[in-house]
Structure 1
Amino acid sequence: MGRVGALIDDARRGRGGALVLRGEPGIGKTALLRHAEESATGFLVMQASGAEFEMELPFAALHQLCAPVLDNVTALPPPHRKALEVAFGLDTGTPDPFLVGIATLGLLVETVRERPLLCLVDDAQWLDHASARALAFLARRVAAERVAVVFSLREPSRLPELDELPGLTLQGLGETDARALLAAAIRAPLDERVRDRVLAEARGNPLALLELPRSAGLAEMAGGFALPSSVPGVIEQSFRARLELLPPQARLLLTVAAADPVGDPGLLWQAVDLLGIEPSATAAAASLVDFGTRIRFSHPLARSAVYRAASSAERQRAHEALAAVTDPVADPDRLAWHRAQASVGPDEEVAAELERSAARAQARGGVAAAAAFLERSAALTLTPGLRVERVLAAAQAKLSVGAFDVAADLLTTAETASLGERHLARIDLLRGKLSFVRRRGGEGPTTYLLRAADRLAGADPAWSRACYLDAMEMGILIGGLDPVVAAARQAPPAPQPPSSADAVLDGLVSLATDGHLAAAAVLRPIVGEVDDEVWTRRPSLGFMLAAELWDYDALHGIAARIVAAGRESGSFHMLPIGLAMLATAAVHAGDFGAAMEMISEEEAIAAATGASPLVYPRIHLAALRGRRREAVALFEEVLSASQRMSLSVQWATAVLNNGLADYPAALNAARQAVARGDLGLSGLALPELVEAAVRCGEPELAGTALRTLAEHTQAGQQAWGLGVEAYSRALVTGDEDAYREAVDHLDGSRVAIYRARAHLLYGEWLRRQGRRRDARERLRTAHELLSDLGAEAFADRAAGELRATGEHARSRSSQASDQLTLQEVHIARLVADGGSSKEVAAKLFLSPRTVDAHLRNIFRKLGLTSRRQLRDLPDIR
Structure 2
Amino acid sequence: MELFGRRAETAALDGLLDRAAHGAGAALVLWGEPGIGKTALVEHAVAAASDATVLRCRGTRMESGLAFAALHELLWPVVDRLETLAAPQAAALRGALGISRDTTNRFLIGAAVLSLVSGLARERPVLVVVDDAQWVDEATAHCLGFVARRVATEPVVVLLTGHEDPTSGPWEGLPAMEVVGLADDDARRLVDAVVPDADGALVDHAVRAAGGNPLALHELPTLDRETEGDAPLLPSGGPVPVGPRLQRAFCARVEALKPSARALLLLAAAEDRGDRHVLHRAGSGWGVDTSAWEEAARSGLVRASGARLEFRHPLVRAAVYDGAPFLERQAAHRALAAALPADATAERAWHLAAAADGPDEGVAALLEQAAEQCLQRSAGPMAARTLRRAAELSPAPDAAGRRLAAAARAAWDAGQAEVARHLLDDAERLCGELPAARMSGGLRGILEFAHGVPERAHRYLVCDMTVVPETWRAVELGTVAVRAAWSAGRSDLQQEALQQVRAVDTDGDPALSELAPVLRNWWSCYDETGEVTPAPLDLDSGTVARLGAAAWGLLPPVPLVQAWGVEGGLLDVLRVQAVQLRRRHELTALAVVLAQEAILDTTAGRWDAAVAAAAEGLRLAEEIGADHVATQSRGSLGLLAAARGEHRSVDEHTTRILQVSAPRGVRALSASTYWIRGRAALFDGRPQEALSDLLSLTQPGHEAAHPTIALLAAVDTAEAAVQVGSIDVVEAQVVLVEEWAQRTGATWARTAGHRLRALVQDGAAAETSFRAALDVAGAGANPLEYARTRLLYGEWLRRARRRADARIQLAGAAEVFERLGAEPLRVRALREQALTERPAAPRVSDAATAAGLTAQELRVARLAADRLTNREIAAQLLISPRTVGHHLASVYPKLGITSRAELARIDFAGDLRLGAAGD
The TM tier, using the shorter chain, reads: 0.5 to 0.7
Contact 1:560 1:582 in 2 (8 A): no
* Residue 405 (structure 2) aligns with: 392
Q: Is 1:487 matched up with 2:488?
A: no
* Residue 547 (structure 1) aligns with: 562
* Residue 322 (structure 1) aligns with: 336
Q: Is 1:513 matched up with 2:496?
A: no
* Residue 194 (structure 1) aligns with: none
Which protein, 1 or 2, shows the higher relative CO under an 8 Å CA cutoff with sep ≥ 6? 1
- Provide the C-alpha distance between the structure 1 equivalents of 2:376 and 2:10, rounded to a whole number of angstroms: 41
- Provide the C-alpha distance between the structure 2 equivalents of 1:491 and 1:138, rounded to a whole number of angstroms: 53
Task: Decide whether aligned partners of structure 1 residues 430 and 787 sit closer, same or farther in structure 2, where only a CA change above 3 A counts.
Answer: closer
Gaps of 5+ in 1: 13-27, 40-115, 123-134, 141-148, 174-201, 206-230, 810-877
Contact 2:216 2:246 in 1 (8 A): no
- Provide the C-alpha distance between the structure 2 equivalents of 1:502 and 1:34, rounded to a whole number of angstroms: 68
Task: Decide whether aligned partners of structure 1 residues 426 and 763 sit closer, same or farther in structure 2, where only a CA change above 3 A counts.
Answer: same
Task: Decide whether aligned partners of structure 1 residues 171 and 563 sit closer, same or farther in structure 2, where only a CA change above 3 A counts.
Answer: closer
Contact 1:647 1:673 in 2 (8 A): yes
Q: Is 1:764 matched up with 2:795?
A: yes
- Provide the C-alpha distance between the structure 1 equivalents of 2:312 and 2:800, rounded to a whole number of angstroms: 88
Contact 1:562 1:575 in 2 (8 A): no
* Residue 159 (structure 1) aligns with: 202
Q: By how many angstroms is 1:670 displaced?
A: 1.8
The structure 1 residue matched to 2:716, chosen from 688, 707, 711, is: 688
Contact 1:650 1:673 in 2 (8 A): yes
* Residue 467 (structure 1) aligns with: 477
Residue 695 of structure 1 aligns to a residue in which SS?
Answer: helix
* Residue 182 (structure 1) aligns with: none
Q: By how many angstroms is 1:365 displaced?
A: 4.9
Task: Decide whether aligned partners of structure 1 residues 655 and 119 sit closer, same or farther in structure 2, where only a CA change above 3 A counts.
Answer: farther
1:688-722 residue CA offsets vs partner (Å, 9 max, x unmatched): 11111122111222222222223333332123211
Q: By how many angstroms is 1:781 displaced?
A: 5.0
Q: Is 1:585 matched up with 2:562?
A: no
Q: By how many angstroms is 1:537 displaced?
A: 1.8
The structure 1 residue matched to 2:637, chosen from 598, 601, 618, is: 618
Residue 725 of structure 2 aligns to a residue in which SS?
Answer: coil
1:57-103 residue CA offsets vs partner (Å, 9 max, x unmatched): xxxxxxxxxxxxxxxxxxxxxxxxxxxxxxxxxxxxxxxxxxxxxxx
Structure 1, 360-369 or 782-791: larger mean CA deviation: 782-791
Q: By how many angstroms is 1:662 displaced?
A: 2.9
Task: Decide whether aligned partners of structure 1 residues 742 and 164 sit closer, same or farther in structure 2, where only a CA change above 3 A counts.
Answer: farther
Contact 2:187 2:214 in 1 (8 A): no
- Provide the C-alpha distance between the structure 2 equivalents of 1:734 and 1:150, rounded to a whole number of angstroms: 67
Aligned 1:199-210 pairs, distance under 5 A: none
Task: Decide whether aligned partners of structure 1 residues 255 and 35 sit closer, same or farther in structure 2, where only a CA change above 3 A counts.
Answer: same
Contact 2:476 2:553 in 1 (8 A): no
* Residue 559 (structure 1) aligns with: 571
TM-score under structure 1 length normalisation? 0.58
Residue 561 of structure 2 aligns to a residue in which SS?
Answer: helix
Q: By how many angstroms is 1:340 displaced?
A: 2.6
Task: Decide whether aligned partners of structure 1 residues 411 and 559 sit closer, same or farther in structure 2, where only a CA change above 3 A counts.
Answer: same
* Residue 273 (structure 1) aligns with: 284
- Provide the C-alpha distance between the structure 1 equivalents of 2:454 and 2:822, rounded to a whole number of angstroms: 45
Task: Decide whether aligned partners of structure 1 residues 735 and 635 sit closer, same or farther in structure 2, where only a CA change above 3 A counts.
Answer: same
Contact 1:260 1:322 in 2 (8 A): yes
1:645-700 residue CA offsets vs partner (Å, 9 max, x unmatched): 65334323333443344322321232234543436533221111111112211122
Q: By how many angstroms is 1:801 displaced?
A: 3.3
Residue 538 of structure 1 aligns to a residue in which SS?
Answer: helix
Q: By how many angstroms is 1:452 displaced?
A: 1.2
AA aligned opposite 1:619: G
Contact 2:714 2:733 in 1 (8 A): yes
AA aligned opposite 2:481: A
The structure 2 residue matched to 1:310, chosen from 326, 332, 335, is: 326
* Residue 373 (structure 2) aligns with: 360
The structure 2 residue matched to 1:259, chosen from 270, 288, 296, is: 270
The structure 2 residue matched to 1:338, chosen from 345, 351, 371, is: 351
Structure 1, 573-582 or 664-673: larger mean CA deviation: 573-582
Task: Decide whether aligned partners of structure 1 residues 686 and 138 sit closer, same or farther in structure 2, where only a CA change above 3 A counts.
Answer: same
Matched-pair identity in %: 25
Q: By how many angstroms is 1:761 displaced?
A: 2.4
Contact 1:674 1:686 in 2 (8 A): no
Residue 159 of structure 1 aligns to a residue in which SS?
Answer: helix
Structure 1, 153-162 or 729-738: larger mean CA deviation: 153-162
* Residue 30 (structure 1) aligns with: 34
Contact 1:779 1:801 in 2 (8 A): yes
The structure 2 residue matched to 1:451, chosen from 441, 463, 466, is: 463
Contact 1:348 1:382 in 2 (8 A): yes
Contact 2:408 2:424 in 1 (8 A): yes
Task: Decide whether aligned partners of structure 1 residues 579 and 738 sit closer, same or farther in structure 2, where only a CA change above 3 A counts.
Answer: farther
Q: Is 1:537 matched up with 2:552?
A: yes
- Provide the C-alpha distance between the structure 1 equivalents of 2:204 and 2:495, rounded to a whole number of angstroms: 42
AA aligned opposite 1:487: E
AA aligned opposite 1:6: R
Structure 1, 387-396 or 264-273: larger mean CA deviation: 264-273
Task: Decide whether aligned partners of structure 1 residues 647 and 8 sit closer, same or farther in structure 2, where only a CA change above 3 A counts.
Answer: farther
Contact 2:37 2:179 in 1 (8 A): no
* Residue 737 (structure 2) aligns with: 709
Residue 511 of structure 1 aligns to a residue in which SS?
Answer: coil
Gaps of 5+ in 2: 14-31, 44-175, 223-241, 305-309, 508-512, 624-629, 662-668, 841-919
Task: Decide whether aligned partners of structure 1 residues 686 and 168 sit closer, same or farther in structure 2, where only a CA change above 3 A counts.
Answer: farther
The CA RMSD measured in Å over matched residues stands at 5.6
AA aligned opposite 1:760: L
Higher Rg of the two aligned structures: 2
Contact 1:713 1:725 in 2 (8 A): yes
AA aligned opposite 1:320: R
1:99-153 residue CA offsets vs partner (Å, 9 max, x unmatched): xxxxxxxxxxxxxxxxx9989569xxxxxxxxxxxx959989xxxxxxxx99999
- Provide the C-alpha distance between the structure 2 equivalents of 1:698 and 1:508, rounded to a whole number of angstroms: 33
Aligned 1:283-294 pairs, distance under 5 A: none
Count residues in correspondence: 625
